[in-house]
Every structure is written in structure tokens, then in C-alpha cells.
Amino acid sequence: MQDFLKQTLSGEPPEQRSGRNDQLSWQWLDEGILEMTPLNASSQALVISAGVHGNETAPVEILNELVGQLLRGEKPLLPRLMVIYGNPSALRVNKRYLRCDINRMFGGRWQQYEDCPEARRAWRLEQAMETFWQVGCHEETRWHLDMHTAIRGSYHARFGVMPLRETPWPQDFLHWLASAGLEALVFHRAPGGTFTHYSCRHFSASSCTLELGKALPFGSNDLAQFSAAQQSLAAILFGEALPEVTAPPRCYRVSQQITRRTEAFILHMSGETLNFTAFPQGTLLAEDGDTRFYVQQAREYVMFPNPNVALGQRAGLMLVEDNAHNDALGSER
């Protein structure tokens, strides 16, 4: 198997389901799930996922190029690696999802949904991740990088979303995120149904959802815009040098969530509102029947505003600057 993406999009299992070269052995586990093991023992286990939303194609193309180099034996592999294309059915039709948003279903939340392709897929991905980390040693360092692109533009073109974590983030992980060209990091303070929250909560992985630009169809992406992320992935996969960090990312934390509860929901933002747009205290952000959402802090920034989500889903997150993390990252320069 030379082209994992082409094989995945075909919808058919590969004729050969395992193999090896001078650098690694590989095994096709299921549609869009590939495990690679270096021939030399490794103390790191890495999961890289992309295509959890089927219209976010640039990360899939970036990842496929790196995977191709590994499968052809052109590069050494340092960590144990599992590569996941999250929602192949949606990738084939360039849609965010077919029935439901898979990135709200992890941590067993898929059981709360009707039987649909995304619910079954979330369950399968949980199984694959659990098995991958169970076979490793307890001393392994576990990282999960879930690569996305955003629906709308942003004042920070590339940013990372960090799941709730009870212990401090490893400094080498934060440094890697900075080297990948992320301009901002957003720290959650509540649990959620994302893939990265699942890996962090259940397996103590250092996990991040990487938002690497704007969602475009296959063939329409300018991959040069993702060079820092691709070089940083090559560094952790192949042992190549990390890109230099020119500036630490700005840090934010979630201050409140805007949730669409009824059909009467109104989001008081235009469709052109960019991620990280700032609003002053007292601004009416949204209303849903008798419920009103206002800016509560002196200044809050919006992320992922979307009035068209399903009932019960978040229609936006409001952020404040996280001075503690900003000071910590700034002191590392």
C-alpha cells in the first residue's frame, strides 16, 4: 500500500493488510486506520488524526504525504504511530459529516445518538485508540494530534484547542505546538465530546485539536501555508529538526459557552465574524427564548460561532486571555 488516502477513499479494504520495509512494519486495522511500528524500540506512542470533519482536507493531504514517505521506506519512524482518517464517508463527499458531528460523540457520548454512521465510527475509533495504547509499555509518552481546519476565517490563522486536563501540560508538548506555527492556544475548563478530550481524559495523553486554516475541498489547498506544521510533524515522526519558534502563541481560556437549545435561537453575529473577534463587556451575544447571553468579562473573544448547529450543541465559545499561560510561555523565549 503506497497511498493510504487513495486506498481509504476507495471504500475497499487493501489487498495486502500488513507489510514491512527497512524502517517499520505496518498494519491496516480498518477503514482509515493504519498502525505503524518502528523496527527499533520507542518510548513514544503517537496518534495523528485528520478528516474527523470530511470537508477539512488540508490536514489530510499533509498527513498523507508524510505517511507515504514512511510506507515507501524513505524515512525512519521514531514513535509507535497510529494514523486515523476520522470520517472517510464524509471525506468522499466533501461534507463536514453525513448525519451528526462525530467530534461531539467521544467518551461514550455516541450512545446518546440515534444509530448513524458517525456514532458507529466514534465507537470504532475509541476501540482502536484504546487497543493501540494498551499494547504499549506504561512508560510510553502518549501524544494525540487531531488536525482540523476551521469553517470561517480567524484573527489567528492557526491555533490549538486544548482539552480539560487536571495536571500541567508537558513543556515539550507546548514547545512542539509553538514550533508548528500555532498563533494561539485555547484551554478548555470543562469536559467535552471531542476526540482530544477522550484521549486526554481516558489515556492521559497530551492532546490538542490543531486548527490549521480554512476548510477547502481536496485540490484547493495551498499546502505551503502549512509548512511549519508539516515540518514539526516530520520532526516528531522522522527525527528531523523542529522549526524555530519566532513568537510564543497567545493563550486563552474558555469563559462561557453559547448553546442553542431551541429553534428560536438567534446569534447576534454576522456570518463574516472571524474567530477571536473581541466584544466589550455587556454586549448581547445571543438569545434563545427567555435566555440571553452577554459578554461577562471586560473583553471576551468568540470562537467557532455557528447558529446552525443542532439543538443542544454549542453555537460558540467565548474566551478571555489566559495571563498565567501567556506569562509561562513568554518566559521560555
Is 247 contained in some domain? no
Does residue 159 contact residue 208 with C-beta atoms inside 8 Å? no
Tell me the mean pLDDT per 10 residues along the chain, length 333.
89 92 96 95 94 91 94 96 96 92 91 87 96 84 93 87 94 94 93 94 95 73 79 94 90 94 95 94 95 96 91 92 71 48
Sign of the torsion formed by the C-alpha atoms of 78, 81, 83 and 84: negative
* Helices and strands (DSSP H and E) totals, the chain: 8, 16
Total of domains in the chain:
2
Annotated catalytic residue 332: no
Q: What is the pLDDT of residue 73?
A: 94
- Are both 228 and 300 inside the same structural domain? no
- Are both 311 and 183 inside the same structural domain? no
Is 248 contained in some domain? no
- Are both 59 and 128 inside the same structural domain? yes
Report field, pTM of the whole predicted structure over 0.85: yes
Is 149 contained in some domain? yes
- Binding-site sequence positions for Zn(2+): 53, 56, 148
Is 331 contained in some domain? no
Is 250 contained in some domain? no
Is 327 contained in some domain? no
Q: Which of 238, 265, 280 is the last residue of a domain?
A: 238
Q: Which of 204, 238, 272 is the last residue of a domain?
A: 238
- Are both 214 and 289 inside the same structural domain? no
Smallest CA-to-CA distance from 328 within 128, 207, 108, 178 is with: 178
Contacts of 131 by beta carbon, 8 Å cutoff, 6+ apart = none
Q: Which three cell numbers stand for residue 206?
A: 497530551
Q: What is the pLDDT of residue 116?
A: 86
- Are both 315 and 173 inside the same structural domain? no
Q: What is the pLDDT of residue 283?
A: 97
- Are both 90 and 159 inside the same structural domain? yes
What's the CATH code of the domain at 18?
Answer: 3.40.630.10
**Structural domain of 263:** 256-321
Q: CA–CA separation, 254 vs 178, rounded Å?
A: 20
Which entry of 211, 244, 272, 321 is annotated as an active-site residue?
211
- Are both 299 and 231 inside the same structural domain? no
- Are both 192 and 71 inside the same structural domain? yes
Q: What is the pLDDT of residue 246?
A: 85
- Binding-site sequence positions: 53, 56, 148
- The type of residue at 324 is A
Is 188 contained in some domain? yes
Q: What is the pLDDT of residue 330?
A: 57
Q: What is the pLDDT of residue 37?
A: 96
- DSSP E strand boundaries for 21-64: 24-30, 33-38, 44-50
Does residue 278 contact residue 318 with C-beta atoms inside 8 Å? no
Q: What is the pLDDT of residue 333?
A: 45
Residue 269 DSSP one-character state: S
What's the CATH code of the domain at 281?
Answer: 2.40.50.630
Is 326 contained in some domain? no
- Are both 130 and 269 inside the same structural domain? no
